[in-house]
Structure 1
Amino acid sequence: MTQEQCTHRNNVQSSEKPHVYKVGIYGWRKRCLYLFVLLLMILILVNLALTIWILKVMDFTIDGMGNLRITEKGLKLEGDSEFLQPLYAKEIQSRTGTPLFLQSSKNVSVNILNGKNKMVTQLVAGSRGVEARGKMLQVRSSAGKLLFSADEQEVVVGAERLRVMGAEGAVFTGSIETPHVRAEPFKELRLESPTRSLFMDAPKGVQILAEVGDIQAVCKNELRLESKDGEITLEADRIKLLRLPEGKASLTASRQNVFEVCVCPNGALFLSQAGSGSTCQISNSVCL
């Protein structure tokens, strides 16, 4: 190739413009991308504003949220709190000097479970009353003295005095054991069994004492005073035996107002007109 041909070819190549390739997003794609970024920024700002508003309304702080505070001893609630689900806690107590209120629209239940998640003790306070279930129920004073105890075997009243305020008194379907029965001052004491018998028994004796007033024993059928080993003593300035039957007087006896108390072999008492000697005669109408 000659020198002139090479020069002409170089001039032709140099006269052509080089092609430039653009890199990026242009046109409607670019506008959509900017719009998407703008919407994303708006959502971020709205989300941030809502988060700040929730923190402000719920009163979130470093120590807790709202009325709930986290302390070294546990959780602390200030004011009224409402629980929609069961509450599990080791200890619940109020602030010093303020009472603790538990309120529910139906009932308040306190359940004690053992290691096998089986209920062993339950306390239910509802509209019908307060019901407690357990092996034993104890009530103690502030000093630790036992005031009341109940289990399947017995019920113990540890107070010094048991007062029954009802007008009808206390009703017992079975036997009772007590060292002392006393009425209130200036009130009468009545032991009554309307449809059955009344027995008073003690290994060392039964003492009935009325310092002021009378003692009256009334029954429908029989009143029995029995002493197996000792004696029965009636000690008073005046002893009256009213409505005793009168035995048949002899024809020779004169009518008088002095009588003799006679005893039948079966223990029945009757009157007989007194005389210089004993006038007691077995009366078929009284002794038989």
Structure 2
Amino acid sequence: MVRMMTQEQCPHRNNVQSTEKPQVYKVGIYGWRKRCLYFFVLLLMILIVVNLALTIWILKVMNFTIDGMGHLRITERGLKLEGDSEFLQPLYAKEIQSRPGSPLFLQSSKNVSVNILNEKKQLVSQLVAGSHGVHARGKMLEVKSSAGKLLFSADDHEVVVGAEKLRVMGAEGAVFSNSVETPHVRAEPFKELRLESPTRSLYMEAPKGVKIEADAGDFQVTCRSDLRLESKDGEISLDASKIKLLRLPEGKASPSGTRQTVFEVCVCPNGKLFLSQAGTGSTCQISSNLCL
């Protein structure tokens, strides 16, 4: 049988509970952990403020705007640079042009190179402007006027000068290692025209003839060896009011013994010329020993 005891019957139990203090549990961070947390929060706030200040300063210095930054502006036609610009890495662009009315300058401490590549990334044309000069490489080079007229072109086969006048300003003239083909050779006004070959022969050939004119001066041909005028199908005409053959050998005097001032020109079988005093008949046979 279980007996139930009331609270009044157990006075010692009430005394025990009344003497115990209620327990309190603390929730949170206290001590050195709390101080470290406040320090990190303060440091983070300082970094955020410094970062924000540096960002604003960079935006102001670099002149960042909605249209671009610094001298760079973004327009509908592309990028626009104002002032001097320097590129440290390769620049890829479809078109580079200056402002209307302003020149375009390309400046480099070493050289400026323009390379043209094909689809296989192989070099086909190149233009290099450096301290040693301007070098061009390609299949063909053309120079045209503003009207589109060809002034100069060069390729592996020929060089064409399309200008109306080719002027060589060198004191030694123009030197050609091979043949020269031209329809007209003319000197400047009041200047002499000289065709000279110091160590070899000089040949002038034309399918329909060679015409040499000196309207206001003399025409002089000088050579150290033989001067040969040859016409295979036609004739050689000397058309002048006076023709002088200087230093030709003279033949014997005529049998009459009179001093004559009239001479005839004798031609030897080998082409040699000499003078013989004229007579009633030809006197060339008398002086035929001059043909030897």
TM-superposed deviation, 1:167: 2.1
Give the aligned partner of residue 129 of structure 1: 133
Q: 1:258, 1:79 → 2: CA distance?
A: 89
Once the two structures are superposed, residues 106-128 of structure 1 have per-residue CA deviations (whole angstroms, 9 ceiling, x without a partner) of 11111111111111111111111
Output the aligned Cα RMSD.
Answer: 1.8
Q: How does 1:112-123 map to 2 (within 5 A)?
A: 112-123=116-127
Shift of 1:160: 0.9
Structure-to-structure mapping, 1:1-288, within 5 angstroms: 1-3=4-6, 4-6=8-10, 8-10=12-14, 12-249=16-253, 253-281=257-285, 286-288=290-292
Q: Measure the CA separation in 1 of the matches of 2:286 and 2:174.
A: 46
What is the identity percentage for the equivalent residue pairs of Structure 1 and Structure 2?
Answer: 82
Give the length in aligned residue pairs. 288
Report SS of the residue matched to 1:89. Answer: coil
TM-score between the two structures when normalised by the length of structure 2: 0.92
State the distance in 1 between where 2:97 and 2:225 align.
62
Per-residue deviation, residues 175-200 of structure 1 (Å, max 9, x unmatched): 11111111111111111111111111
Question: For residues 8-43 of structure 1, what are the alpha-carbon distances to aligned partners after superposition, in whole Å with 9 as ceiling and x for unaligned?
Answer: 524532553321111110011101110111011101
For residue 272 of structure 2, what is the amino acid of its counterpart? A
Letter in 1 for 2:276: S
Q: TM-score, normalised by structure 1?
A: 0.94
Structure 1: gaps of 5 or more residues:
none
How big is the shift at 1:208? 1.0
Unaligned runs of 5+ in 2: none
Displacement of 1:60 in angstroms is: 1.4
Q: How many angstroms does 1:255 deviate by?
A: 4.6
